[in-house]
Structures are given as structure tokens and as C-alpha cells.
Structure 1
Amino acid sequence: MTKRLNEFLAGVPMTIVGGVFLAVSLILMMMKLEVPVDPAWISVIISGIPLLYLAIWRIINNKGMSKISSALLISIAMIAAIAIGDIFAAGEVAFIMATGAILEEKTAERSKKGLKKLISLAPQQGRRIMNGKEEMIRAEEIKAGYMLRVLPGETIPVDGRITIGNSSVDQAVITGESLPVDKEAGDSVYCGTINRFGAIDMEATEVGEDSSLQKLIRMVQDAENKQAPIQRIADKWATWLVPAALLIAIAAYVFTQDIIRGVTVLVVFCPCALVLATPTAIMAAIGQAAKHGIIIKSGEALEKMGKVDTIVFDKTGTLTFGRPEVSDIITFLGEPDENELLALAASAESRSEHPLGKAIVAHAIEKKLVLKDAEGFRMEAGKGIYANVSGRDLFCGNENYLKENGIGIPQQAIDTLNLLRNQGKASVLAAADGLCVGVIGLSDVLRPAAVEMVAELHEMGTQTVLLTGDNHRTAAYFAEQAGITDVKAELLPEEKVQNILQLQQEGKAVCMIGDGVNDAPALKTASVGVAMGAMGSDIAVEAADIALMSDDISKIPYLKRLSNATVSTIKFSLFLSLLINFVAILMSFMGWLTPTTGALVHNAGSIVVVLIAALLYDRKFD
């Protein structure tokens, strides 16, 4: 009951009510009008009761010096002001403290939806094969050694090894790879990944809590639990503020024999400006970032971003767009030419559901080529497709697929394939009427802003690292294009986490930028996680501290400059608030201030801190 009452009184609506009555009290006081009951009493009750409750709770439950908090100091000042009849001063310090607490709470809120979404990806059932028959069983009933069948479009229920069949598996949830990976007998598959095309039989190897997806979920949970809440600066300093305030107040009374001076010292000593310094600067910076399409979820993230010296990038969907596009069309025999080869391949692929086939068709349409009907279309999952176009037998696929169909691969084609692989590109060989006539190279596309963005970060003294689940050649190719020299490739989610932890152990303050579900543990583990918000997965966005809603990575240097400025502003505001308090204490000691005028000076100091922070909102950081 007491807790619910305090939560109600400390909420935004009641705090606003308290502020209104405090303002009425000030107006009456300035107009020298007397009323039977000072309206400031309402502010004292609304903002003071939760403050007093918090101070007492910490004295009873906290250990050691943490019993002494800013709430205790302000409660003492509030009670002292009431004791001498200055209700406005009591209401003012309680109201300012309540306002600061609300601001800080709003900036520190974290979303918990991401973990729930990640858990929802866990498969619920699997298709067990026993005695030649199929039966659906719950995922938790699957044991190592069970034989399972996964049909096209189904999610693989546990980690395992393919025993029969070929397919292409979308592993983005685990590795972040932009393209489905061709799989055949003997290859490993992961829980939570999607079988796109052919039916496969597999043997379960890692099940339950040992599966890849469950490890991913566990890593996000662990990283979430390691995130410590922000300790308010005023509370950090309260261990010496409270004794200092009491000693100075007592000294003021002893030396002057004036209880008013002692109470005034307590009122002006209250760390309200300290309480406001951090949250107001952060709120202004969050508003500034929002104008640029950047959502910052907490003040802690903004403060930490200002200290970051190493930024780690995922590749697919972060540095690149995460979708394959035709990059090369190479013919071997002079006939057909490039456009004819593209038109033939696109016609044959027009019925394909494979991402590479779709990309070839899209490129042909973009070039306004005429596609012809494909007859006799058939696809072999993980290998390629066949179709008859205008009487010509066309095979499009990998080397093995063409060889299996009796088509020789000329040395020129082999050399071209090796060149494309070294550039991190995928390749589709095209054969017409039994002859290998060309190859179409496809590649993910580097974001245009990536090169300049990385260069700006380097100029700011920030180290850049690429961590990706893609193969070494692809990673090296795109890292070189972007200007990143530190590259780690073919990483599973736990290996990305290990690399970030290693950087942190070396004393680095690490920011991770990613977009996929597989990036969620790394985003949580890093000091600051930044997700691509427009095209990135919901889970990555929820796991991150900051989201780029337009996927514009050119905003990263801006974000770093904004964070640096925020930290500097907070430090300056803290210094200024301490200086104002020091001057006010001297004035109180000399008798130049009363509790009421002291409260007004104290309030003016808080307003100055807020105004300084507000300047962040309109400052230019581009």
C-alpha cells in the first residue's frame, strides 16, 4: 500500500500538481498576500512524502555509507525549513528533487521486448523419423541422435548434421550472412535457421539448451543482466555532502546564534542542480539526436558513447545493404553478348525463388530486357536450375551442377570464378546447349557513406573493427573498400561476443554496430550497442541502446560528436552547480540569504543548469 502511494505521488501527473501549487505559493508571497494555509504544503506532501520514504528506506536497507543519500540531505533540509515555518523553501527543494528523479528515470528506461522476440524464434516442434515413419514431436523432446526431416520453408529445430539431401539454408539468424548457404550431406545446420528449398534428413547433435539459438538467447540474457543501473551523481557525492552540509549548518548556528542561517545553509546545500545536470543534458541530446533520425534509449548509452574509442561493425546490412546485386556479366565464347546472356539467364531464373536468381531477374528488368517464357523449369536445391528458353537448353548454377549435367568448364571460367571469389562475390555459371557460355557475378553492395564515415572516425581517433559471419574473402574485400584494416570473419554470435570482450579487457570502450538477430548478444555485450533501425531485425533494435532509424551510417560520426559534447556539458554543469552552491553557502553564512531567498537562488542555479543543457538541442554537430 505504501509503495503504491509513493509511486502515485512520485508520478508525472502529481508532480505537475505539486509544481502548480508551489507556483501559486510564490505568487502569493511576491504579492504579500496571506492565506490560512500556504499552497506550498501541497507540494511538500506530494513531492516530500516519496522523498522522505526513500531516505528512510535507504537508511534501513542499504549497507555502509550508501545509507547516506541525496534524498536524506534534502529530507533534512525540508524538515528544517518546515520547523522554522518556511513552507515554500521546503516545497521547492522537494519539488526540484522529484523533477530530477522523473527526468532521470525517463532517460534510463530500457525496452525488454527484444528478448521476448528472440525467444519466440525458438522452434516449437520437429519432424522425427522412426521406423520409416514421420511424426511431429515437441522441440524439447528431441534428443541427440534422433533422425529428423526438415521440409522446404521449415525452421530447423535443433543443431545437427545433414545425412540425406541438398538444400539452401538461410542462416541469417545465427551468422548474419545475407545469402542462403548451400548445404549437402555431411554439412552442419543450426537451430532456428530456415530450410529454403530442398527437403533434408538430419541427425540431431546439439539439442535443448546446447543448441545455437538457445545459446544466443542465453548470451542476450546474460549481457542484459550485466547492465548496471546508473547511479545518480548526487547519490555518489551524498556520502560527503550530507556530513558537510550538517557541519556547516551547525557551524553557522554556533557562530551566529541564528537558526535561520543554519536552515538556509541546508536549503542551498541541497544538490538539486546536481540532480538536474545529467538528465537535462541527456534529454536535450536525445531530442537533438531524434531530429537526425537517431533514437537513443538511455542516458547511460549516451554517456558511454562519449567515452567510446573503438567501434565494431557487422558487415551484412550494416556496412553493406545486405542484398545481392549483379556486379559482373562475363561471356566466354563471344556469343551470346552480355545483354543476351543476362536475358537468357533471367528468363531461365524467372521461376526461381533463390535470392541469386531473383537478383538476376531484377537486374534484367532494370535494364529493360525482354524476358521469354521458360519451359520445363526444374531446380535442384543448392546446385542450380534448368529451363528451356526459345528452344535452348539452359543450365544456371555452380560448377558441380554443370559437370553433373555433362557440361565442361573451360579454364577461362575457372579463372573468372577464382577472381570473383577473391572479390567476395557469388557466381552463377550459365550454359546453353551443352556449352558454358558465361558467368554472372553477384555481390552485396557497400553503402556509399561507408568510406567517408570510417575516414571521419579515424580522424577523430576512433579505432574501427569488422566482425562478420561471412567468409574471409568477402570480409576482406569489403573491409578494404571501407578502409577498415582490423577484420575477423566466419564468426558465430558467441565468437563476436568473445572478440568484443577481448577488446574490453584491453581497456577499450567498445561500440558495436549491427542489424541482425545474430548481432543481439554482441550489441548487449558492448559498452554501447547501435542497431540499424529501418532494415535491421526488431530483435537487434530492441537489444541495442541506440537505433539509426534511417539506416544512415554517415550519422555515426555525428553521434560520436554529440555524445562527446554531452559528456562535456554534463561536466561543466556539475562544476557550475557546485560553484553556485558554494557562493550561496557563503551568502547564507553571512546572513544575506533567508531560507526563502536561498531557495530562489538555489532554484535559479537549477534553471541555469537546465538552460546550459538546452543549448545542446540546437547546437550543430554535422
Structure 2
Amino acid sequence: MIDEITNFLFGLKMTIISGIFLLISIIFMILGINTPIYLNPAWGTVIISGIPMLLLAMTRLIREKWISSALLIAIAMVASLLIGEVFAAGEVAWIMALGALLEDWTVERAKKGLKNLINLTPQTGRRITNGIEKVIPVDEIKIGDILRILPGESVPVDGEIINGTSSLDQSIMTGESLPIDKEVGDEVFCGTMNLYGAIDIKATSLGENSSLQKLIDLVKAADEKQAPTQRIADKWATWLVPVALAIAIAAWLVTGNIERGVTVLVVFCPCALILATPTAIMAAIGQATKYGVLIKSGEALETLGGLNTLVFDKTGTLTYGNLEVSDIISLRDDLPSEDLLKIVASCEKLSEHPLAKAIVKYAKEAEIDIEEPQEFKMYPGKGVTSTNSYGKIYAGNSKFLSEHNINVDVNCQLDKLKHEGKASIIVALNDEVIGLIGLSDMIREDSKDMIERLHELGTETILLTGDNSETANYFANQVGIGKVFGNLLPEEKLSWIEKLKNEGKKVCMIGDGVNDAPALKTADVSVAMGSVGSDVAIEAADITLLGDDIGKIPYLKKLSNSTLFTIKLNIAMSMAINAAAIICSVLGLLNPVTGAIVHNAGSCLVVLNAALLYDRHFDDSIKKIDTEYTEHSHYHFHNDGEHTHSHENVKIIDEIVTDNGIKHMHTHKHSITRQSCELHHN
């Protein structure tokens, strides 16, 4: 009941009403309007802001054994009322309420992420009993039940495939950008998506033991570990209260004037100290918002400047999280790369597999004429076959081609693509392998520069990813990250974050997927990618990059450092003003009312200094979010020494003939802003 009353009276509407009463009291003083003490408008401020502050101080002192700044302000308020200085009592109470309101705005954390994560849990499953299929609630599924998962459906429980093959999107659990081919005997996880090909599984774990539920539990546990933030004034209140009381009592006893003692209590109130942190943080949050960065936690902004370790997820963070064709390798001298691309795109045109869609999209962007496939047939988890003007086409993995009695002797090329973290499709024409298509998740153009700038700031960088170690190492080498850990599940990412923190490191986690949520919650500070990131990751993180511009990480660190400096300067100014006001109070130069005015002036000075942070410039490389982007692309064809160049609004295609006659096609893209033009190699 007490907490409800306190929260209501400390709310925005009641604080505004309280401030209006105080303003009326000030107007009365300026106009010389005298009213009886019991009719002073400041009583409205005392009741609205003072009573909850008094309740808060007593609750912390008695229930929590916590000497807070609210206790000192309550003492000053009560002392002012005892000598009839209602305005002074109301002023310190209202400044305290305003500070609490600002602090609540800056430290409030969104709680929707956990709800979104829970909503990912499938609610029904298709149980097969004696050959009869029936949709039942997931709660009725038992271990050992046979379940059928159709294309496009989520896996309702953890299980093992007993019939069928398919590819599953496991990004919710591992963050892997590529779908994973599954066959009989492979394990599947609750909440993952079956892309195509019906599969039957045997349930192996249910409910609280499922992999998705464990992920939910990890997020809950990490959220509960977040310690409540104490204001700086509250941290210092343990010695502020006795010191203030000692000086006030001494001033009263030495001078014999109780008014001087009460004035000391009024000017000693740490209201400017209370405002020092939230006002600077609010200005910094506004500054960051102009550049497309949403900071949800004031505590995170304070902590960010002292970080020495930044941990990155790979997919969707350092990379775009979208598959694109990276290599087109022709194994025949008489087969240009454009023709190979046309052959495989025509074969894959009707396929729903993500790799097939990426190839078809790429061919369309290159304005290649795609044929309609004939006799199209898909083999889930393996590949596809079709017929076109070239002949019988096979496109899939090596096992698929071997099953069709096609000799696959391209291990060298396959190993190279695998080492570079790329997926590959082998293409055969009329029982002969004619080429390979490599697909990759593309590295963000500014990732490498961002890592270099962080290293210049003395920050260690680490990569934690669900991708296999070979892929992880390749991407880490591309951007300059030294420490790499791959094949990680969500709980393993969380364990690494906890291990780094136990080593005394201040850790920032940067990620985008559902699987990153526990680690994001556990890190000292967390950053999520706003556009491509999952809702769960965005809600779990303290900071969100709305434009997915990872290059703003160094800017955030500089902003945090400047915010900390502003907070410390505010504290120094407030302490200096308080010290001067205390001396004047002891000497009788101030009374409770003039002391309250000086006290209020100090608070205003702190707010004005914090406001300067809003328009400060930190980094020339960071532009406001309204910067215009225009994309231009060029075609480059290199063939037998000939070179042609033309401007098009599509991606560049470079064909290179190597010494051994293998042809490669690579892509490039130009991104042009008002300020700069950079060549990005994809």
C-alpha cells in the first residue's frame, strides 16, 4: 500500500501539480502577498512530494536498513516546517521528486523481450498414432511420441529424426546464418523452423527440459541478476546525513539560533547531486538518438566508458545476416561464368531453399535470363534436379550427386569455400560436374574499421558465435578480431560472458539474435542491432543501433566518457555550491528561504551544464541518421585480357580466369554518401 502511494505521488502528473503549488508560492513572495502559514500554497508541494519522500526515507531506513539521501531531505523538510518555513520545506521536497522522476526515466528497462521469447514456443504438434495424424496441444506430447513437422512449421519439442530429410533454420538457437541439413538420426531443437520436406521425429525432451525453455530460463535468470541502481547521492548518504546533522546542531548550539541550523540542513540537501547523473544521462541519450542510437539504460551509459572488453556475435552483427552469391566457379574452359549462373539459377528457380533463392535473386539482379525448369524435382536436404535447354541439371551437395552416380572430384574447391565460411552448391550437367556456386554471409563494410578504432581505444575484442570454428576464424581474421570461440549454444555464450566478468573484465556484448539474449542480459552493457535484430535481443539489450551501423560503437564509448566527465563536473560544482552555502548559513548570511533559493540555483546550474552535452560533437566519422545514401554499381568483365566498364544500378560482376582455368565471379558494390565514396568488396 505504501509503495503504491509513493509511486503515484512521485509520478509525472503529481510532480507537475506539486511544482505548480511551489510556483504559486514563489509568485506570492515576489508580489509581497502575505498569507497565513497554513494557507501557504507550498503546503500542496509538501503534501504531494514531501509525504511520499518521507515514507520512502522511513521505508529504506526501517525495512531495508538503508540510509539514503531521502532521509537527509526528509529531516530538512521536517525541520523547516517546525520553524514555519513552508516554502523551504516544499522546495527541497519538490527537487527530490523531480530528481527521482528523471532517474526513473533514464534507468527504466523494457520487459517485453521475455514475453516475445515465450511467444516463440510452439503451442501444438502433429502426433502420429497408428498411422493417424492428430494436432494436439504441446502439453499433451510425451517422450517417445512420434511427431510430424511439415514445411514452414516450428519443431514443437526437442527430438530425433526417424524419417525424412530437410533443412532447418536453427538461428533461434545458434545464430547460424545458413540452414542446416538434417537427416535420419539427427537432433532437432524446439522452436527451430523446418524449411521444407516433411520429417517425423521422436520426442526426446519436453517442457522445462526443452532447449527453447532452457533459453527462456537463461534470460529470466540473467534479468534477475541485474542489481538495482543507486543514485550517487544515495551512495554517499551514509556520511552525508551524520555530517549535515552535526554541522546543523553545532551551528544552532554555537549561535543559539535554530534558524541557522535549519538553513544548514536545507542547503546541505544533495538535490543538485541527485540531478547530476540523470540530467547528464538524459542529454547524452538525446545526443545518441540524433545519430540513430537508442539508449534504454542510464546505468549502461555510465558503465560503457569503463569497458575494456567488447564481445561480438557474428551473424547479423559483424555481417549482414543475408546469404549472397560470393563465388561462381566454372570447371570448363568453354563455359563462361554467366552461363553457369544461368544454368543453376534456371534449375533452382522453383526451389524454396534459402540457398536457391539467393542464387535466383543474384541472377535476376545481374539481368540474366532465367529459363523455366522442366521436370523439376526437389530432394529435401540434398539438392534439386531439372531439365532445361542445356540438358539434365543436378544442383546439390556431394552426397546428392554421388547418389546419382556422378563423379565428384572437387574437394579442393569445396575445402577452400568451407575454409572461408561459405556454403557451396555443386552443379552437374548431363552426369558431369561443371562448376560450383559459393554463398556467404557478407561482412559489413565498416566492421574492420570499427574494430581497429576500438583497438586504438585500448579495448579488447572477442568473437562468440554459433557458427563452426572454421567459419568463425575466417570472419574474425577478415575484421581483425584476435580471440574467437565457435560452435557455441546460448548457454555457452552466457558462460563465456560470466567467465570474462569473473576475470575482472568489464564486458559489452553486441549481438542481434534470440540466441544472444541471455548473454546480452548478463554482460555489463549490451548492444543490439535494431533493424535486423530479433525483438527479444533488442528488448534484452541496453542499447540499440537503429540503423544497424556497427561503426557507431567507438562513438558510444566516447559519448560515455564525456557523460562521465560531465557527471563528475556536476558533482564537483554541486559540492562547491553546497560548501559555500553551508558557510553562509552558519554565518547567518542565509535564512531557510534564501538558502532554498541558492540551493535551487545550484540545481539549475547542474541542469544547464548537463544540457550542453546534447549538442557536443564527438566523432567526424559519425553522421546523423538523415544522411542520404545512393548506390551505384559497375560491371567489370575480365576475360582473356579484355576489359569493359559500364555503369548500372546493379551489383558488379567480376570474372577472373585463374592460371588453372577455373573461372570465378565476385561482386563489389559502391556506396556513395554526401561525404564520402568507398569501394566495398563483397
Q: TM-score range by the shorter chain?
A: over 0.9
SS at match of 1:444: strand
The answer on whether the counterparts of 1:52 and 1:71 sit within 8 Å (CA) in structure 2 is: yes
Residue 526 of structure 2 aligns to a residue whose secondary structure is strand
Aligned residue for 2:361? 362
- 2:63 maps to 61
Sort the Cα spacing of 1:101 and 1:416 in 2 relative to 1 into closer, same or farther, 3 A. same
- 2:234 corresponds to which residue? 235
Q: Distance in 1 between matches of 2:59 and 2:152?
A: 56
Task: Say whether 1:255 aligns with 2:254.
Answer: yes
Given that residues 373 and 390 in structure 1 are in contact (C-alpha distance below 8 angstroms), is that contact kept between their aligned partners in structure 2?
A: no
Mark the runs of 5 or more structure 2 residues left unpaired by the alignment: 620-682
Out of 309-318 and 123-132, give the one that drifted further: 123-132
CA offset digits 1:520-573 (Å, max 9, x no partner): 111111111111011111111011111111100011111111112212221222
What is the CA–CA distance in structure 2 between the aligned matches of 1:128 and 1:43, rounded to whole Å?
Answer: 65
With over 3 angstroms needed to count, the CA separation of the structure-2 counterparts of 1:414 and 1:62, relative to structure 1, is: closer
Distance in 1, Cα, partners of 2:377 & 2:569: 69
Q: Give the equivalent residue in structure 2 for 1:159.
A: 158
Q: State whether structure 2 residue 376 is matched by structure 1 residue 377.
A: yes
Name the structure 2 match of 1:330.
329
Whole-angstrom CA distance in 2 between matches of 1:172 and 1:463: 26
| Amino acid of the structure 2 residue aligned with 1:233 | I
Shift in Å, 1:134? 2.7
Specify whether residues 505 and 4 from structure 1 end up closer, same or farther in structure 2 by C-alpha distance, changes over 3 A only: closer
The 5 A counterparts of 1:225-374 are 225-374=224-373
Offset at residue 135 of structure 1 (A):
2.9
Q: Which moved more, 1:214-223 or 1:294-303?
A: 294-303
Q: Shift of the alpha carbon at 1:194?
A: 0.9
2:625 counterpart residue number = none
What's 2:9 paired with? Answer: 9
Does the 8 Å CA contact 2:343/2:390 hold for their aligned counterparts? no
Q: Is the 8 A contact 1:472 1:490 kept in 2?
A: yes
1:56-113 superposed Cα distances (whole Å, 9 cap, x missing partner)? 32333223xx1x3222211111121122222221111111000000000111111111
Match of 1:50 in 2: 52
Structure 1 CA distance for aligned equivalents of residues 71 and 503 of structure 2 = 39
For residues 7 and 495 of structure 1, the distance between their equivalents in structure 2, rounded to whole angstroms, comes to: 39
Unaligned runs of 5+ in 1: none
Higher relative strand content: 2
* Residue pairs, 1:155-234, within 5 angstroms: 155-234=154-233
Q: Which residue of 1 aligns with 2:426?
A: 429
Structure 1 distance, partners of 2:301, 2:48, is 31
Alpha-carbon distance between aligned partners in 2 of 1:281 and 1:214, rounded to the nearest angstrom: 40
| Pair 504,162 (structure 1): closer, same or farther in 2 beyond 3 Å | same
Q: Does 1:83 align with 2:82?
A: yes
Partners of 1:213 and 1:32 lie apart in 2 by 69
What does residue 444 of structure 2 align with?
447
- Against the structure 1 CA distance between its residues 204 and 50, is the aligned structure 2 distance closer, same or farther, given a 3 Å change threshold? same
Is the contact between residue 394 and residue 429 of structure 2 (CA under 8 Å) also seen in structure 1?
A: yes
Task: Supply the distance in 1 between the matched residues of 2:68 and 2:497 (Cα, whole angstroms).
Answer: 35
Q: Which residue of 1 aligns with 2:140?
A: 141
1:575 equivalent to 2:572? Answer yes
More helix by share: 1
Distance, in Å, in 1 between the alignment partners of 2:118 and 2:514 is 11
The alignment partner of 1:445 has SS state of strand
Contact 2:107-2:298 within 8 A present in 1 as well: yes
Q: After superposing the two structures, state which structure 1 stretch, 334-343 or 261-270, moved more.
A: 334-343
Distance 1:283 1:455 in 2: 29
Q: What is the deviation of 1:47?
A: 1.2
Cα displacement (A) at 1:30: 2.8
Q: Please, which of 522, 532, 548 is the counterpart of residue 519 of structure 2?
A: 522
Shift of residue 593, structure 1, vs aligned partner: 0.9
The Cα of 1:336 is off from its aligned counterpart by: 2.2
Of the three residues 586, 591, 612, the one matched with 1:589 is: 586
**Letter of the 1:86 counterpart:** E
Query: What secondary structure is seen at the aligned counterpart in 2 of 1:507?
Result: coil
1:7, distance to aligned residue in structure 2 (A): 3.2
* TM norm structure 2: 0.88
Does structure 2 conserve the Cα–Cα contact (< 8 Å) formed by 1:317 and 1:515? yes
CA distance in 2, matches of 1:441, 1:137: 41
Moved more, 32-41 or 511-520: 32-41
Aligned to 2:31: 31
Larger CA deviation: 454-463 vs 150-159: 150-159
Per-residue CA deviation, residues 8-67 of structure 1 (Å, 9 max, x unaligned), is 32221221122222223223323333245322222222211111221232333223xx1x
Secondary structure class of the residue paired with 1:185: coil
Q: 2:416 aligns with which of 415, 419, 435?
A: 419
Offset at 1:346?
0.8
Q: CA deviation at 1:3?
A: 4.9
Q: What amino acid is the match of 1:48?
A: G
Percent identity of equivalent pairs: 59
Instruction: Give 1:205 deviation, angstroms.
Output: 1.9
Match of 1:229, SS state, is coil
Q: Report the CA distance shift for 1:226/1:446 in structure 2 as closer, same or farther (over 3 A).
A: same
TM-score (norm 1): 0.97
- In 2, the alpha carbon distance for the partners of 1:2 and 1:426 equals 61
Go from structure 1 to structure 2 and tell me whether the alpha carbon gap of 1:104 and 1:383 turns closer, same or farther (over 3 Å shift).
same
Whole-angstrom distance in 2 between the partners of 1:103 and 1:397: 59
Match of 1:475 in 2: 472
The DSSP-based 3-state class of the residue aligned with 1:487 is strand
SS for the counterpart of 1:491 is coil
